[in-house]
Amino acid sequence: MAFDGLSEKLQAVFKQLRGKGRLTEKDVQAAMREVKLALLEADVSFKIVKEFVATVTEKAIGNDVLESLTPGQQVIKIVNEELINLMGGTNSRLTMANRPPTVYMMVGLQGAGKTTAIGKIAAQLKKQGKKPLLAACDVYRPAAVKQLQVLAGQYNLPVFEKGTDANPVDIAKEALAYAVSHGNDILLIDTAGRLHVDEELMEELVNIKSAVRPQEILLVVDAMTGQDAVNVAQTFSDKVGIDGIILSKLDGDTRGGAALSVRKITGKPIKYVGMGEKLEDLEPFHPERMASRILGMGDVLSLIEKAQETFDENQARELEKKMRKNEFDLEDFLKQMQQIKKMGPLKDLLGMIPGMNQAGLKDAVIDEKAMVHVEAIIQSMTPKERQNPAILNGPRKMRIAKGSGRNIQEVNRLLKQFEDMKKMMKQMSGMGKGKKGMMNMPFLR
């Protein structure tokens, strides 16, 4: 997960600050040295680190902070605010043209994830009621057009292509005319990339830009390349002109320095971050939420949004009724597990909960495979057994264990955990008591 190392180090620094009743200027400067090292290790640009630490130090050694009743918390508040400012302040959404179609032009180096990002953005816009068209203007990379078609097929999206012999500028112009005549209100143009920046690539991108006049040019950069991502962003910004940045593969970079550097260096907002392979894993970038995650404060809003996107509203209401009447059965439990799996890796979800011990979470053994095993056990039961687990005697359990490929001990453990969870639900008067139930789930050891 991005920022793991930075988050752990910053939380350790702030733990020391909280432990002091009063702070001196020397205490703050010692803490800022640790912050500086943590940011540099996270691959944040030295110039940005220097400016960031200087700003935080200046604010933190003011009398209002040092003489307050909770100086440690005041310093953390300042760091949080400056992190938010560093990453752009507020969420920057895609803008729409006054007259459709709105044209988005995707640029970036080869392998950064342009094609994947186009497919995901188009699919998300389609869910919002838009009619996107994808234009295949990468005629150089082998199978680039086919990749776009396969990706579009997953989301039932149309692709405009003219083959590998056509000129990319002509394809873009014809795609725009096609979008106008066929009622497509969004046009996303997939352009060619290179292994490195060269003049020929930049000239082609400038010509496509002149031909279709995009509403926004979005640069896709690979977060795992660290400071190279920042250098690439600066070059594209200078030579082509960009309106926003998509940071791909942020889930694969534990340092995360590119996310903290690229906005400050280019002056262009980060619009999306790629946090995985699924459609919903291309997330709108919220600086305040990311800062909160880095400082171990959780991210409740993103967690709620993930739940709203994933959970069926009618099913959730029905489940609530069953829980109130204590009629929650293994069939319901299976449905809930399948919904939770759609929300993403469990460790990431738990990390969004405020107050969750991030350092402890890092060492927690969260067995994603155990969810698969639990599913197999429940699916090996008959509908009657799922609805009334009390009828599960020895022979039935043996049959279920054999059918699921698990052992009898795992079947017994699941049934006990399920009964414990039902008791907890019955006794629970508020959501604040739900943490115990979560820790007893069969996939969290």
pLDDT in tens, 305-321: 555 555 566 666 666 66
444 DSSP 8-state letter: B
pLDDT tens for each residue of 165-198: 889 999 999 999 999 999 999 999 999 888 777 8
Mean pLDDT score of the chain, rounded to an integer? 80
Q: How far apart are CA 219 and CA 221, in angstroms?
A: 6
Residue 268 — φ and ψ, nearest 5°? -105, 140
Q: With 50 as the cut, is the pLDDT of residue 433 above it? A: no
Taking residues 234-248, report their average pLDDT.
90
Give me the pLDDT at residue 441, please.
46
Give mean pLDDT, residues 89-95. 86
Residue 330: the pLDDT is 84
The half-sphere exposure of 291 on its side-chain side, counting CA atoms within 13 A, is 19
For residues 100 and 226, the model is more confident at 100
Model confidence at 89, pLDDT cuts 50, 70, 90, reads confident
Residue 1 has pLDDT above 60, yes or no: no
Who wins on pLDDT, 441 or 279? 279
pLDDT of residue 210: 94
Tell me the pLDDT tens digit for each residue of 310-354: 556 666 666 666 666 667 788 877 777 777 666 666 556 555 544
Does domain 302-439 bear CATH number 1.10.260.30? Answer: yes
Cβ atoms 437, 421 nearer than 8 A: yes
What class, spelled out in words, does domain 102-295 have in CATH?
alpha beta
Domain residues of the chain, as ranges?
A: 4-86, 102-295, 302-439
Does 143 score more than 70 pLDDT?
yes
User: CA-CA distance, 225 to 431, in Å (whole number)?
Assistant: 41
Residue 222 identity (one-letter amino acid): D
Fold that domain 4-86 belongs to in CATH: Four Helix Bundle (Hemerythrin (Met), subunit A) (1.20.120)
Non-local CB neighbours of 384 within 8 Å, separated by 6+ positions:
391
Element housing 216 (H / E):
strand 216-222
Q: Amino acid letter at 58? A: E
Task: Write the DSSP symbol of residue 72.
Answer: H
- Lowest pLDDT segment from 116-130, 332-346, 366-380, 421-435: 421-435
Q: Are 270 and 244 in contact (CB under 8 A)?
A: yes
Residue 76: per-residue pLDDT = 81
Return the percent helix, strand and coil in the chain, to nearest 5.
60, 10, 30
Alpha-carbon torsion 21, 24, 30, 33, what sign? positive
C-alpha to C-alpha distance for 219 and 268, rounded to whole angstroms: 10
**What is d(CA 249, CA 253) in angstroms, rounded to the nearest whole number?**
7
DSSP class of 94 = P
Mean local confidence (pLDDT), 370-380: 86
For residue 220, CA distances in Å to 71, 176, 236, 250, 273 come to 40, 22, 10, 12, 9
Q: How many CA atoms lie within 13 A of 354 on its CB side?
A: 10
